[in-house]
Amino acid sequence: MSRARQSILFLSLLGISRAAMAAPGAFEKVERQPLNITAIVMFLVFVAATLAITWWAAARTRSMSDFYTAGGSITGFQNGLALAGDYMSAAALLGVTSMIFFHGYDGMIYAISFFVAWPLLLFLFAERIRNLGRITIADIASFRLDQNRIRTLTACGSLTVVCFYLVVQMVGAGQLIELLFGLPYNYAVIVVGVLMAVYVTFGGMVATTWVQIIKAGLLLFGGTLLAVLALSRFNFSLDALFTQAIAVRGARVLFPGELVADPVAMISLSIGLVFGTAGLPHILMRFFTVPDAKAARKSVFVATGFIGFFFLVVAVLGMAAIVIVGQNPAFYEAGQIGGKLLGGGNMPVIHLARALGGNLMLGFLSAVAFATILAVVSGLTMAGTSAISHDLYVMVLKKNRADPAAERRVSRIASVCIGVVAVVLGILFKDQNIAFLVALTFGVAASVNFPILALSMYWKGLTTRGALAGGVTGLLSSVILVILSPAVWVKVLGHAHAIYPYEYPAIVSMSIAFVFAWLGSVTDRSAKAARERSRFDDQYVRAQTGWGASGTAGH
Protein backbone atom coordinates (compact mmCIF):
# COMPACT_ATOMS: atom_id res chain seq x y z
CA MET A 1 0.00 0.00 0.00
CA SER A 2 3.05 2.25 0.27
CA ARG A 3 2.91 2.58 -3.50
CA ALA A 4 -0.51 4.18 -3.24
CA ARG A 5 0.59 6.51 -0.47
CA GLN A 6 3.62 7.56 -2.46
CA SER A 7 1.53 8.43 -5.49
CA ILE A 8 1.81 12.09 -6.40
CA LEU A 9 -1.24 14.22 -5.59
CA PHE A 10 -2.36 15.33 -8.98
CA LEU A 11 -4.99 17.78 -10.15
CA SER A 12 -8.03 16.64 -12.04
CA LEU A 13 -11.40 17.66 -13.36
CA LEU A 14 -14.46 16.36 -15.09
CA GLY A 15 -14.62 16.99 -18.77
CA ILE A 16 -17.24 18.93 -20.57
CA SER A 17 -19.31 16.21 -22.11
CA ARG A 18 -22.39 15.80 -24.19
CA ALA A 19 -24.40 18.91 -23.32
CA ALA A 20 -21.40 21.18 -23.45
CA MET A 21 -20.58 20.20 -27.01
CA ALA A 22 -23.32 22.37 -28.44
CA ALA A 23 -22.41 25.46 -26.44
CA PRO A 24 -20.64 28.17 -28.41
CA GLY A 25 -16.94 28.11 -27.77
CA ALA A 26 -17.05 24.70 -26.13
CA PHE A 27 -13.76 23.59 -27.60
CA GLU A 28 -12.31 26.80 -28.88
CA LYS A 29 -8.77 27.79 -27.99
CA VAL A 30 -9.17 30.12 -25.04
CA GLU A 31 -6.76 32.25 -23.08
CA ARG A 32 -5.62 30.79 -19.77
CA GLN A 33 -6.97 32.51 -16.70
CA PRO A 34 -4.82 33.63 -13.75
CA LEU A 35 -4.08 30.83 -11.28
CA ASN A 36 -6.82 30.46 -8.68
CA ILE A 37 -4.91 29.51 -5.54
CA THR A 38 -8.14 28.90 -3.60
CA ALA A 39 -9.31 26.35 -6.18
CA ILE A 40 -5.93 24.63 -6.25
CA VAL A 41 -5.74 24.33 -2.46
CA MET A 42 -9.31 23.05 -2.18
CA PHE A 43 -8.76 20.51 -4.89
CA LEU A 44 -5.50 19.25 -3.42
CA VAL A 45 -7.30 18.75 -0.11
CA PHE A 46 -9.97 16.72 -1.91
CA VAL A 47 -7.40 14.59 -3.74
CA ALA A 48 -5.49 13.98 -0.51
CA ALA A 49 -8.71 12.87 1.19
CA THR A 50 -9.63 10.50 -1.64
CA LEU A 51 -6.16 8.98 -1.69
CA ALA A 52 -6.52 8.39 2.06
CA ILE A 53 -9.83 6.65 1.32
CA THR A 54 -8.06 4.51 -1.28
CA TRP A 55 -5.47 3.51 1.34
CA TRP A 56 -8.27 2.67 3.78
CA ALA A 57 -10.29 0.78 1.13
CA ALA A 58 -7.27 -1.27 0.02
CA ALA A 59 -6.99 -2.82 3.48
CA ARG A 60 -10.63 -3.92 3.19
CA THR A 61 -10.36 -5.31 -0.34
CA ARG A 62 -9.45 -8.90 0.45
CA SER A 63 -11.31 -10.83 -2.23
CA MET A 64 -12.31 -10.33 -5.85
CA SER A 65 -15.89 -9.85 -4.67
CA ASP A 66 -14.66 -6.93 -2.57
CA PHE A 67 -12.76 -5.56 -5.55
CA TYR A 68 -15.62 -5.80 -8.04
CA THR A 69 -18.68 -5.08 -5.88
CA ALA A 70 -17.43 -4.03 -2.40
CA GLY A 71 -18.65 -7.43 -1.22
CA GLY A 72 -22.27 -6.26 -1.58
CA SER A 73 -21.82 -4.30 1.65
CA ILE A 74 -22.94 -0.85 0.48
CA THR A 75 -26.29 0.27 1.91
CA GLY A 76 -29.13 1.43 -0.30
CA PHE A 77 -28.77 5.08 0.72
CA GLN A 78 -24.98 5.04 0.28
CA ASN A 79 -25.29 3.40 -3.12
CA GLY A 80 -27.97 5.89 -4.16
CA LEU A 81 -25.67 8.77 -3.31
CA ALA A 82 -22.81 7.01 -5.12
CA LEU A 83 -25.05 6.49 -8.18
CA ALA A 84 -25.89 10.18 -8.11
CA GLY A 85 -22.17 10.98 -7.82
CA ASP A 86 -21.40 8.67 -10.74
CA TYR A 87 -24.04 10.38 -12.88
CA MET A 88 -24.06 14.04 -11.83
CA SER A 89 -21.09 15.69 -13.41
CA ALA A 90 -19.46 18.96 -14.25
CA ALA A 91 -20.87 18.26 -17.71
CA ALA A 92 -24.24 19.03 -16.16
CA LEU A 93 -23.05 21.81 -13.87
CA LEU A 94 -21.04 23.52 -16.60
CA GLY A 95 -22.55 22.16 -19.81
CA VAL A 96 -26.29 22.22 -19.16
CA THR A 97 -26.12 25.64 -17.48
CA SER A 98 -24.29 26.94 -20.55
CA MET A 99 -26.94 25.36 -22.79
CA ILE A 100 -29.68 27.15 -20.84
CA PHE A 101 -27.63 30.36 -20.84
CA PHE A 102 -27.29 30.34 -24.63
CA HIS A 103 -30.48 28.54 -25.74
CA GLY A 104 -32.97 28.92 -22.90
CA TYR A 105 -35.68 26.27 -22.74
CA ASP A 106 -34.01 23.90 -25.18
CA GLY A 107 -31.16 23.37 -22.72
CA MET A 108 -33.66 21.64 -20.46
CA ILE A 109 -34.09 18.84 -23.02
CA TYR A 110 -30.77 17.44 -21.84
CA ALA A 111 -31.60 17.71 -18.15
CA ILE A 112 -35.04 16.12 -18.59
CA SER A 113 -33.71 13.28 -20.73
CA PHE A 114 -30.96 12.55 -18.21
CA PHE A 115 -33.53 12.46 -15.42
CA VAL A 116 -36.22 10.38 -17.17
CA ALA A 117 -33.82 7.44 -17.42
CA TRP A 118 -33.89 6.91 -13.65
CA PRO A 119 -37.58 5.98 -13.21
CA LEU A 120 -36.98 3.57 -16.09
CA LEU A 121 -34.11 1.99 -14.17
CA LEU A 122 -36.16 1.91 -10.98
CA PHE A 123 -39.25 0.16 -12.36
CA LEU A 124 -37.77 -2.04 -15.10
CA PHE A 125 -34.17 -2.86 -14.28
CA ALA A 126 -32.96 -2.37 -10.71
CA GLU A 127 -34.51 -5.38 -8.98
CA ARG A 128 -34.00 -7.81 -11.86
CA ILE A 129 -30.41 -6.76 -12.45
CA ARG A 130 -29.54 -7.24 -8.77
CA ASN A 131 -31.25 -10.64 -8.60
CA LEU A 132 -29.80 -11.98 -11.85
CA GLY A 133 -26.32 -10.48 -11.88
CA ARG A 134 -23.26 -10.74 -9.71
CA ILE A 135 -20.40 -8.64 -11.08
CA THR A 136 -21.12 -7.26 -14.57
CA ILE A 137 -24.13 -6.75 -16.82
CA ALA A 138 -22.94 -9.69 -18.91
CA ASP A 139 -24.08 -11.94 -16.04
CA ILE A 140 -27.70 -11.01 -16.83
CA ALA A 141 -27.49 -11.33 -20.60
CA SER A 142 -25.70 -14.68 -20.41
CA PHE A 143 -27.92 -16.19 -17.68
CA ARG A 144 -29.74 -18.51 -20.10
CA LEU A 145 -27.85 -17.79 -23.33
CA ASP A 146 -24.47 -18.94 -24.61
CA GLN A 147 -21.89 -17.78 -22.05
CA ASN A 148 -18.89 -17.30 -24.32
CA ARG A 149 -20.51 -15.50 -27.24
CA ILE A 150 -22.88 -13.30 -25.22
CA ARG A 151 -20.23 -12.35 -22.67
CA THR A 152 -17.81 -11.48 -25.46
CA LEU A 153 -20.41 -9.32 -27.22
CA THR A 154 -21.53 -7.58 -24.03
CA ALA A 155 -17.96 -7.02 -22.87
CA CYS A 156 -17.03 -5.51 -26.25
CA GLY A 157 -20.07 -3.22 -26.14
CA SER A 158 -19.22 -2.14 -22.59
CA LEU A 159 -15.58 -1.50 -23.44
CA THR A 160 -16.62 0.56 -26.47
CA VAL A 161 -18.85 2.72 -24.27
CA VAL A 162 -16.16 3.02 -21.58
CA CYS A 163 -13.35 3.99 -23.95
CA PHE A 164 -15.30 6.59 -25.92
CA TYR A 165 -16.84 8.06 -22.79
CA LEU A 166 -13.40 8.25 -21.19
CA VAL A 167 -12.06 10.17 -24.18
CA VAL A 168 -14.84 12.74 -23.77
CA GLN A 169 -14.00 13.13 -20.09
CA MET A 170 -10.25 13.29 -20.66
CA VAL A 171 -10.39 15.94 -23.39
CA GLY A 172 -12.74 18.12 -21.39
CA ALA A 173 -10.71 17.59 -18.23
CA GLY A 174 -7.45 18.53 -19.92
CA GLN A 175 -8.88 21.68 -21.46
CA LEU A 176 -10.57 22.87 -18.29
CA ILE A 177 -7.47 22.28 -16.15
CA GLU A 178 -5.37 24.04 -18.77
CA LEU A 179 -7.79 26.96 -18.71
CA LEU A 180 -8.22 27.45 -14.99
CA PHE A 181 -5.10 25.93 -13.42
CA GLY A 182 -2.60 26.87 -16.09
CA LEU A 183 -1.29 23.28 -16.27
CA PRO A 184 -0.34 22.25 -19.85
CA TYR A 185 -2.98 20.08 -21.51
CA ASN A 186 -0.89 16.92 -21.91
CA TYR A 187 0.21 17.01 -18.27
CA ALA A 188 -3.38 17.54 -17.17
CA VAL A 189 -4.54 14.47 -19.08
CA ILE A 190 -1.71 12.37 -17.65
CA VAL A 191 -2.62 13.53 -14.13
CA VAL A 192 -6.22 12.38 -14.58
CA GLY A 193 -5.13 9.02 -16.00
CA VAL A 194 -2.73 8.31 -13.14
CA LEU A 195 -5.27 9.18 -10.46
CA MET A 196 -8.05 7.04 -11.91
CA ALA A 197 -5.70 4.05 -12.23
CA VAL A 198 -4.59 4.47 -8.59
CA TYR A 199 -8.14 4.55 -7.25
CA VAL A 200 -9.29 1.45 -9.13
CA THR A 201 -6.07 -0.59 -8.89
CA PHE A 202 -5.62 -0.24 -5.14
CA GLY A 203 -9.06 0.57 -3.75
CA GLY A 204 -11.40 -1.24 -6.12
CA MET A 205 -15.13 -0.65 -5.78
CA VAL A 206 -14.92 0.41 -2.12
CA ALA A 207 -12.68 3.37 -2.94
CA THR A 208 -14.63 4.18 -6.09
CA THR A 209 -17.90 4.22 -4.13
CA TRP A 210 -16.67 6.59 -1.44
CA VAL A 211 -15.03 8.90 -3.96
CA GLN A 212 -18.40 9.11 -5.70
CA ILE A 213 -20.26 9.74 -2.42
CA ILE A 214 -17.95 12.58 -1.37
CA LYS A 215 -18.04 14.11 -4.83
CA ALA A 216 -21.87 13.98 -4.89
CA GLY A 217 -22.06 15.71 -1.52
CA LEU A 218 -19.69 18.47 -2.65
CA LEU A 219 -21.52 18.98 -5.94
CA LEU A 220 -24.95 19.12 -4.30
CA PHE A 221 -23.72 21.49 -1.60
CA GLY A 222 -21.87 23.75 -4.01
CA GLY A 223 -24.71 23.91 -6.53
CA THR A 224 -27.35 24.49 -3.87
CA LEU A 225 -25.33 27.23 -2.18
CA LEU A 226 -24.84 29.01 -5.48
CA ALA A 227 -28.55 28.68 -6.32
CA VAL A 228 -29.51 30.17 -2.94
CA LEU A 229 -27.12 33.08 -3.49
CA ALA A 230 -28.57 33.58 -6.98
CA LEU A 231 -32.20 33.50 -5.82
CA SER A 232 -31.40 35.98 -3.06
CA ARG A 233 -30.83 38.53 -5.84
CA PHE A 234 -34.46 38.04 -6.86
CA ASN A 235 -35.98 37.93 -3.34
CA PHE A 236 -36.25 34.15 -3.71
CA SER A 237 -38.92 34.57 -6.36
CA LEU A 238 -38.76 32.34 -9.42
CA ASP A 239 -41.36 34.58 -11.06
CA ALA A 240 -39.02 37.55 -10.71
CA LEU A 241 -36.11 35.50 -12.04
CA PHE A 242 -37.97 34.38 -15.17
CA THR A 243 -39.44 37.83 -15.72
CA GLN A 244 -35.99 39.38 -15.76
CA ALA A 245 -34.64 36.59 -17.99
CA ILE A 246 -37.40 37.40 -20.49
CA ALA A 247 -36.49 41.06 -20.26
CA VAL A 248 -32.90 40.20 -21.20
CA ARG A 249 -33.46 37.60 -23.93
CA GLY A 250 -37.09 37.97 -24.91
CA ALA A 251 -39.98 35.51 -24.57
CA ARG A 252 -38.17 32.98 -26.77
CA VAL A 253 -36.02 32.02 -23.78
CA LEU A 254 -39.00 30.03 -22.41
CA PHE A 255 -40.04 28.38 -25.67
CA PRO A 256 -38.57 25.35 -27.48
CA GLY A 257 -37.14 25.24 -30.97
CA GLU A 258 -34.02 27.38 -30.87
CA LEU A 259 -31.54 24.54 -30.48
CA VAL A 260 -33.43 21.46 -31.69
CA ALA A 261 -36.00 22.63 -34.20
CA ASP A 262 -36.52 19.27 -35.92
CA PRO A 263 -38.84 16.99 -33.90
CA VAL A 264 -37.09 13.86 -35.21
CA ALA A 265 -33.71 15.18 -34.06
CA MET A 266 -35.16 15.95 -30.63
CA ILE A 267 -36.71 12.49 -30.33
CA SER A 268 -33.49 10.78 -31.42
CA LEU A 269 -31.51 12.85 -28.92
CA SER A 270 -33.93 12.00 -26.11
CA ILE A 271 -33.99 8.29 -26.98
CA GLY A 272 -30.20 8.20 -26.95
CA LEU A 273 -29.93 9.93 -23.58
CA VAL A 274 -32.73 7.99 -21.86
CA PHE A 275 -32.03 4.48 -23.11
CA GLY A 276 -28.30 5.09 -23.39
CA THR A 277 -28.23 5.87 -19.68
CA ALA A 278 -30.04 2.58 -19.05
CA GLY A 279 -27.23 0.82 -20.90
CA LEU A 280 -24.20 2.49 -19.32
CA PRO A 281 -22.14 -0.31 -17.70
CA HIS A 282 -20.61 1.86 -14.96
CA ILE A 283 -24.11 2.85 -13.81
CA LEU A 284 -25.69 -0.62 -13.98
CA MET A 285 -22.85 -2.40 -12.17
CA ARG A 286 -23.53 -0.32 -9.07
CA PHE A 287 -26.61 -2.50 -8.46
CA PHE A 288 -24.26 -5.35 -7.55
CA THR A 289 -22.72 -3.45 -4.64
CA VAL A 290 -25.82 -3.71 -2.44
CA PRO A 291 -26.91 -6.81 -0.48
CA ASP A 292 -30.33 -7.42 -2.08
CA ALA A 293 -32.98 -6.23 -4.52
CA LYS A 294 -34.71 -4.09 -1.90
CA ALA A 295 -31.50 -2.10 -1.42
CA ALA A 296 -31.13 -1.85 -5.22
CA ARG A 297 -34.59 -0.30 -5.48
CA LYS A 298 -33.78 2.08 -2.64
CA SER A 299 -30.53 3.01 -4.40
CA VAL A 300 -32.35 4.15 -7.53
CA PHE A 301 -35.04 5.91 -5.50
CA VAL A 302 -32.42 7.89 -3.57
CA ALA A 303 -30.39 8.60 -6.70
CA THR A 304 -33.50 9.79 -8.55
CA GLY A 305 -34.28 12.24 -5.77
CA PHE A 306 -30.79 13.69 -5.65
CA ILE A 307 -30.44 13.85 -9.44
CA GLY A 308 -33.87 15.45 -9.88
CA PHE A 309 -33.03 18.07 -7.26
CA PHE A 310 -29.66 18.71 -8.88
CA PHE A 311 -31.17 19.39 -12.30
CA LEU A 312 -33.68 21.80 -10.76
CA VAL A 313 -30.69 23.62 -9.27
CA VAL A 314 -28.98 23.59 -12.66
CA ALA A 315 -32.08 25.13 -14.28
CA VAL A 316 -32.08 27.95 -11.71
CA LEU A 317 -28.36 28.56 -12.25
CA GLY A 318 -28.79 28.70 -16.02
CA MET A 319 -31.59 31.24 -15.84
CA ALA A 320 -29.79 33.29 -13.18
CA ALA A 321 -26.68 33.38 -15.38
CA ILE A 322 -28.76 34.90 -18.19
CA VAL A 323 -29.63 37.84 -15.96
CA ILE A 324 -26.49 38.26 -13.83
CA VAL A 325 -23.72 37.18 -16.20
CA GLY A 326 -25.46 38.06 -19.45
CA GLN A 327 -25.70 41.75 -18.56
CA ASN A 328 -22.23 42.19 -17.07
CA PRO A 329 -19.61 43.32 -19.62
CA ALA A 330 -16.82 42.24 -17.25
CA PHE A 331 -17.46 38.61 -18.25
CA TYR A 332 -17.15 39.19 -22.00
CA GLU A 333 -14.09 39.63 -24.17
CA ALA A 334 -13.45 43.31 -24.91
CA GLY A 335 -16.35 44.10 -22.59
CA GLN A 336 -18.89 43.52 -25.37
CA ILE A 337 -22.14 42.08 -24.00
CA GLY A 338 -23.38 39.29 -26.27
CA GLY A 339 -19.91 38.56 -27.58
CA LYS A 340 -17.60 35.72 -26.56
CA LEU A 341 -17.50 34.83 -22.89
CA LEU A 342 -14.17 34.98 -21.13
CA GLY A 343 -12.84 31.44 -20.82
CA GLY A 344 -15.15 29.95 -23.45
CA GLY A 345 -18.77 28.91 -23.80
CA ASN A 346 -18.90 26.60 -20.79
CA MET A 347 -18.06 29.25 -18.21
CA PRO A 348 -21.43 30.94 -17.37
CA VAL A 349 -21.79 29.16 -14.03
CA ILE A 350 -18.14 29.85 -13.15
CA HIS A 351 -18.67 33.55 -13.88
CA LEU A 352 -21.91 33.37 -11.88
CA ALA A 353 -19.97 32.03 -8.90
CA ARG A 354 -17.50 34.91 -9.15
CA ALA A 355 -20.32 37.46 -9.38
CA LEU A 356 -22.16 36.06 -6.35
CA GLY A 357 -19.38 34.95 -4.02
CA GLY A 358 -16.12 36.42 -5.25
CA ASN A 359 -12.92 34.43 -5.52
CA LEU A 360 -13.81 32.18 -2.56
CA MET A 361 -16.99 30.89 -4.21
CA LEU A 362 -15.26 30.73 -7.58
CA GLY A 363 -12.44 28.69 -6.08
CA PHE A 364 -14.80 26.31 -4.32
CA LEU A 365 -17.01 25.72 -7.36
CA SER A 366 -13.99 25.27 -9.61
CA ALA A 367 -12.56 22.71 -7.18
CA VAL A 368 -15.90 20.87 -7.15
CA ALA A 369 -15.97 20.83 -10.95
CA PHE A 370 -12.41 19.53 -11.06
CA ALA A 371 -13.11 16.87 -8.43
CA THR A 372 -15.96 15.30 -10.38
CA ILE A 373 -13.56 13.70 -12.86
CA LEU A 374 -12.39 11.36 -10.13
CA ALA A 375 -15.84 9.89 -9.60
CA VAL A 376 -16.81 9.56 -13.25
CA VAL A 377 -13.56 8.16 -14.63
CA SER A 378 -13.14 5.86 -11.61
CA GLY A 379 -16.57 4.35 -12.30
CA LEU A 380 -15.81 4.00 -16.00
CA THR A 381 -12.44 2.39 -15.32
CA MET A 382 -14.03 0.00 -12.83
CA ALA A 383 -16.59 -1.06 -15.45
CA GLY A 384 -13.93 -1.59 -18.11
CA THR A 385 -11.68 -3.49 -15.74
CA SER A 386 -14.52 -5.82 -14.74
CA ALA A 387 -15.41 -6.52 -18.36
CA ILE A 388 -11.83 -7.52 -19.15
CA SER A 389 -10.87 -9.47 -16.02
CA HIS A 390 -14.20 -11.09 -15.13
CA ASP A 391 -16.05 -11.51 -18.43
CA LEU A 392 -13.25 -12.04 -20.94
CA TYR A 393 -10.49 -13.55 -18.80
CA VAL A 394 -12.31 -15.56 -16.13
CA MET A 395 -15.56 -16.56 -17.82
CA VAL A 396 -14.57 -16.79 -21.51
CA LEU A 397 -10.87 -17.61 -21.54
CA LYS A 398 -10.60 -19.62 -18.31
CA LYS A 399 -14.16 -21.05 -18.34
CA ASN A 400 -14.79 -19.84 -14.76
CA ARG A 401 -11.74 -21.74 -13.43
CA ALA A 402 -9.26 -18.89 -13.00
CA ASP A 403 -6.99 -18.60 -10.00
CA PRO A 404 -8.08 -15.61 -7.80
CA ALA A 405 -4.51 -14.31 -7.63
CA ALA A 406 -4.24 -14.39 -11.43
CA GLU A 407 -7.63 -12.70 -11.75
CA ARG A 408 -6.54 -9.93 -9.41
CA ARG A 409 -3.33 -9.50 -11.39
CA VAL A 410 -5.28 -9.26 -14.65
CA SER A 411 -7.67 -6.72 -13.12
CA ARG A 412 -4.78 -4.50 -12.03
CA ILE A 413 -3.13 -4.73 -15.43
CA ALA A 414 -6.47 -3.96 -17.08
CA SER A 415 -7.04 -0.83 -14.97
CA VAL A 416 -3.57 0.47 -15.80
CA CYS A 417 -4.03 -0.31 -19.51
CA ILE A 418 -7.39 1.48 -19.59
CA GLY A 419 -5.72 4.48 -17.96
CA VAL A 420 -2.96 4.47 -20.57
CA VAL A 421 -5.46 4.15 -23.44
CA ALA A 422 -7.54 7.01 -22.02
CA VAL A 423 -4.47 9.25 -21.73
CA VAL A 424 -3.23 8.46 -25.25
CA LEU A 425 -6.65 9.01 -26.83
CA GLY A 426 -7.17 12.15 -24.78
CA ILE A 427 -3.93 13.60 -26.15
CA LEU A 428 -4.68 12.48 -29.72
CA PHE A 429 -8.14 14.08 -29.67
CA LYS A 430 -6.91 17.30 -28.06
CA ASP A 431 -7.89 19.68 -30.86
CA GLN A 432 -10.73 17.64 -32.34
CA ASN A 433 -14.45 18.30 -32.10
CA ILE A 434 -15.42 15.23 -30.10
CA ALA A 435 -19.19 15.70 -30.13
CA PHE A 436 -19.42 12.58 -32.28
CA LEU A 437 -17.91 10.51 -29.45
CA VAL A 438 -20.75 11.61 -27.19
CA ALA A 439 -23.29 10.51 -29.79
CA LEU A 440 -21.40 7.27 -30.30
CA THR A 441 -21.17 6.52 -26.57
CA PHE A 442 -24.88 6.84 -25.93
CA GLY A 443 -25.75 5.34 -29.30
CA VAL A 444 -23.80 2.16 -28.53
CA ALA A 445 -25.21 1.93 -25.00
CA ALA A 446 -28.76 2.36 -26.31
CA SER A 447 -28.26 0.07 -29.33
CA VAL A 448 -26.21 -2.78 -27.84
CA ASN A 449 -26.46 -3.00 -24.06
CA PHE A 450 -30.03 -1.83 -23.54
CA PRO A 451 -31.78 -4.06 -26.14
CA ILE A 452 -29.91 -7.19 -25.07
CA LEU A 453 -30.55 -6.59 -21.37
CA ALA A 454 -34.21 -5.68 -21.83
CA LEU A 455 -35.01 -8.61 -24.13
CA SER A 456 -33.06 -11.15 -22.08
CA MET A 457 -35.05 -10.23 -18.95
CA TYR A 458 -38.49 -9.66 -20.48
CA TRP A 459 -38.81 -11.77 -23.63
CA LYS A 460 -38.83 -15.53 -23.44
CA GLY A 461 -38.23 -15.86 -27.16
CA LEU A 462 -34.77 -14.32 -27.19
CA THR A 463 -32.03 -16.70 -28.30
CA THR A 464 -28.27 -16.41 -28.56
CA ARG A 465 -28.48 -15.99 -32.31
CA GLY A 466 -31.03 -13.21 -31.93
CA ALA A 467 -29.01 -11.43 -29.24
CA LEU A 468 -25.87 -11.58 -31.39
CA ALA A 469 -27.74 -10.34 -34.46
CA GLY A 470 -29.27 -7.44 -32.53
CA GLY A 471 -26.07 -6.51 -30.71
CA VAL A 472 -23.81 -6.60 -33.76
CA THR A 473 -26.22 -4.70 -36.03
CA GLY A 474 -26.88 -2.18 -33.26
CA LEU A 475 -23.16 -1.59 -32.80
CA LEU A 476 -22.42 -1.31 -36.51
CA SER A 477 -25.40 0.90 -37.30
CA SER A 478 -24.69 3.30 -34.44
CA VAL A 479 -21.03 3.67 -35.50
CA ILE A 480 -21.87 4.04 -39.21
CA LEU A 481 -24.63 6.59 -38.59
CA VAL A 482 -22.36 8.70 -36.42
CA ILE A 483 -19.74 8.68 -39.18
CA LEU A 484 -22.39 9.76 -41.71
CA SER A 485 -23.80 12.43 -39.35
CA PRO A 486 -22.97 16.16 -39.43
CA ALA A 487 -20.65 15.68 -36.42
CA VAL A 488 -18.19 13.62 -38.50
CA TRP A 489 -19.16 13.81 -42.17
CA VAL A 490 -19.26 17.61 -42.19
CA LYS A 491 -17.30 18.89 -39.17
CA VAL A 492 -14.48 16.32 -39.22
CA LEU A 493 -14.30 15.04 -42.81
CA GLY A 494 -15.18 18.39 -44.39
CA HIS A 495 -18.04 17.34 -46.70
CA ALA A 496 -20.68 19.90 -47.60
CA HIS A 497 -23.70 17.88 -46.47
CA ALA A 498 -24.19 14.95 -44.12
CA ILE A 499 -25.65 11.70 -45.46
CA TYR A 500 -27.43 11.03 -42.14
CA PRO A 501 -28.94 14.37 -41.07
CA TYR A 502 -29.08 13.90 -37.29
CA GLU A 503 -26.33 14.11 -34.69
CA TYR A 504 -27.67 11.21 -32.61
CA PRO A 505 -28.25 7.76 -34.16
CA ALA A 506 -30.37 6.09 -31.46
CA ILE A 507 -33.78 6.46 -33.12
CA VAL A 508 -32.53 4.33 -36.02
CA SER A 509 -29.78 2.16 -34.55
CA MET A 510 -31.78 1.08 -31.47
CA SER A 511 -34.74 0.18 -33.69
CA ILE A 512 -32.45 -1.86 -35.94
CA ALA A 513 -31.06 -3.70 -32.91
CA PHE A 514 -34.50 -4.67 -31.63
CA VAL A 515 -35.71 -5.74 -35.10
CA PHE A 516 -32.70 -7.96 -35.79
CA ALA A 517 -32.79 -9.43 -32.28
CA TRP A 518 -36.43 -10.37 -32.84
CA LEU A 519 -35.83 -11.64 -36.38
CA GLY A 520 -32.77 -13.67 -35.40
CA SER A 521 -34.68 -15.26 -32.52
CA VAL A 522 -37.98 -16.13 -34.21
CA THR A 523 -36.16 -17.77 -37.12
CA ASP A 524 -33.97 -19.86 -34.79
CA ARG A 525 -35.54 -23.33 -34.60
CA SER A 526 -32.51 -25.17 -33.25
CA ALA A 527 -32.56 -27.47 -30.21
CA LYS A 528 -30.19 -25.09 -28.43
CA ALA A 529 -32.64 -22.24 -28.94
CA ALA A 530 -35.44 -24.36 -27.48
CA ARG A 531 -33.33 -25.05 -24.36
CA GLU A 532 -32.59 -21.33 -24.00
CA ARG A 533 -36.29 -20.51 -24.15
CA SER A 534 -37.11 -23.23 -21.65
CA ARG A 535 -34.74 -21.71 -19.07
CA PHE A 536 -36.64 -18.44 -19.10
CA ASP A 537 -39.04 -19.63 -16.40
CA ASP A 538 -36.17 -20.34 -14.00
CA GLN A 539 -34.70 -16.96 -14.83
CA TYR A 540 -38.06 -15.29 -14.22
CA VAL A 541 -38.41 -16.84 -10.77
CA ARG A 542 -34.95 -15.69 -9.76
CA ALA A 543 -35.51 -12.23 -11.22
CA GLN A 544 -38.69 -11.84 -9.15
CA THR A 545 -37.63 -13.49 -5.91
CA GLY A 546 -33.84 -13.27 -5.80
CA TRP A 547 -33.63 -16.97 -4.97
CA GLY A 548 -30.09 -18.13 -5.68
CA ALA A 549 -28.85 -14.59 -6.31
CA SER A 550 -25.82 -15.06 -4.09
CA GLY A 551 -24.49 -17.79 -6.37
CA THR A 552 -22.78 -17.51 -9.71
CA ALA A 553 -24.93 -16.12 -12.47
CA GLY A 554 -25.72 -18.59 -15.12
CA HIS A 555 -25.39 -21.68 -12.95
Residue 388 has pLDDT above 90, yes or no: yes
Nearest C-alpha neighbor of 62 from the set 190, 205, 189, 172: 205
Give the Å distances, CA to CA, from 301 to 117, 275, 284, 292. 12, 18, 14, 15
Confirm whether 24 is domain-assigned.
Answer: no
pLDDT digits (tens, 9 = 90+) for 8-54: 222 222 233 333 333 333 334 444 555 667 777 877 887 888 888 88
Q: How many residues does the chain have?
A: 555
Higher pLDDT, 392 or 42: 392
Residue 476 has pLDDT above 50, yes or no: yes
The string over 293-305, giving b where at least 16 C-beta atoms fall within 10 Å of a residue's C-beta and e elsewhere, is: bebbbbbbbbbbe
The C-alpha atoms of residue 278 and residue 282 are separated, in whole angstroms, by 10
pLDDT digits (tens, 9 = 90+) for 1-15: 333 322 222 222 223
Contact present, 219 and 80 (Cβ < 8 Å): no
Share of the chain above pLDDT 90, in %: 39
Angle, helices 506-522 vs 464-484, to 10°: value is: 160
Q: For 86-90, 119-123, 530-534, which range has the lowest pLDDT when averaged over its residues?
A: 86-90
Contact present, 150 and 375 (Cβ < 8 Å): no
**Domain limits for position 174:** 37-545
Confirm whether 3 is domain-assigned.
Answer: no
pTM of the model: 0.84
pLDDT digits (tens, 9 = 90+) for 315-354: 999 999 999 999 888 888 878 887 888 777 778 888 899 8
The C-alpha atoms of residue 375 and residue 216 are separated, in whole angstroms, by 9
pLDDT of residue 342: 78
Confirm whether 25 is domain-assigned.
Answer: no
Q: Which residues pair with 341 in a beta bridge?
A: 332
Residue 269 has pLDDT above 80, yes or no: yes
Nearest C-alpha neighbor of 152 from the set 401, 421, 468, 460: 468
The C-alpha atoms of residue 13 and residue 373 are separated, in whole angstroms, by 5
Confirm whether 13 is domain-assigned.
Answer: no
Contact present, 517 and 462 (Cβ < 8 Å): yes
- Specify which of 10-14, 431-435, 500-504 reaches the highest per-range mean pLDDT: 500-504
The C-alpha atoms of residue 435 and residue 510 are separated, in whole angstroms, by 19
Which SS3 state, helix, strand or coil, does residue 12 take? coil
DSSP letter assigned to residue 330: G
Residue 486 has pLDDT above 90, yes or no: no
The C-alpha atoms of residue 100 and residue 107 are separated, in whole angstroms, by 4
User: How many structural domains is the chain composed of?
Assistant: 1
Q: What angle do CA 348, 354, 360 make, to 5 degrees?
A: 135
Provide the CA 335 distance to its chain's centre, in angstroms: 36
CB contact set of 450 (below 8 Å; sequence gap of 6+)? 275, 276, 278, 279, 510
Give the confidence band of 473 by pLDDT, cuts at 50, 70, 90. very high
DSSP assignments along 483-530, one per residue: HHSIIIIITTT--SS-SS--S--HHHHHHHHHHHHHHHHHT--SHHHH
Residue 163 maps to which CATH number? Answer: 1.20.1730.10
pLDDT of residue 484: 93
Confirm whether 510 is domain-assigned.
Answer: yes
